[in-house]
Amino acid sequence: METVRKIKKAMNTLLFGLCVVIMVLLVLDVSWQVLSRYLFRSPSTFTDEVARFLMIYMSFLGGAYIFGADGHLSVTSLRDKLPAKVKSWVIIFTYVLIAAFAVIVMIFGSQRLILRTLDQPSPALGLSMGIFYMILPFSAICIVIYMVLNLIEFCATGKTANQQPEAAELKEDD
């Protein structure tokens, strides 16, 4: 169990750090857009595109981070009324289903998209659009790792990730 906690802590630190860096860059980018437009009367040509891509990266990385804490919005009223054994199987099935979705849609599905857009330049920056879509498989790999770790924790302790003591620490650290 200690290995699972160490891996989750390392992933949490990495993803949270990336999200902080992206948020700082997003604030700087949007601030530059406002300054260049209203103060210098010459709007920047790239800031809108950079902000859009940063927001997309933030969404996918933040989503993966929240999967690690089992913190996504979920309606558990029906699941909570089930007998303990059935409830456990529903939780396991949910983790497996999320991991399967990440693999099938976000990894395999994005491969074709990335390959098709490698030669397509972004309008303002001129960078390959395939580079921007690479966040899909990266975040999917993080989600799959988190689902496996959450599944291991659940099978070992009988508690979901947000019921673990570390979940309270994660919320306090943020």
State the Cα–Cα distance between residues 149 and 123, nearest whole angstrom. Answer: 40
Alpha-helical runs (H) found in 35-128: 47-68, 77-80, 84-101, 109-117
Torsion sign (Cα): 141, 145, 150, 155: positive
Checking if the pLDDT of 162 tops 80, the result is no
State the Cα–Cα distance between residues 116 and 49, nearest whole angstrom. Answer: 20
The SS3 of residue 39 is helix
Return the DSSP state at 128. B
Residues 61 and 15 sit within 8 Å (Cβ to Cβ) = yes
Nearest partner of 134 among 79, 76, 61, 78, judged by Cα: 61
What is the number of domains present in the chain? 1
What's the pLDDT score for residue 165?
65
Distance of alpha carbon 160 from the chain centroid: 19
What's the pLDDT score for residue 15?
96
Residues 70 and 162 sit within 8 Å (Cβ to Cβ) = yes
Whole-model pTM? 0.86
What's the pLDDT score for residue 73?
79
Q: Could you tell me which residues come within 8 angstroms of residue 91 by beta carbon, excluding any fewer than 6 positions away?
A: 79, 154, 160
Encode pLDDT of 67-91 as tens digits.
888 888 788 888 889 898 999 999 9
Quote the tokens at residue 143: 């989600």
What's the pLDDT score for residue 158?
84
φ/ψ of 61, rounded to 5, equals -70, -40
Domain that residue 94 falls in: 2-173
Mean pLDDT along residues 143-161: 91
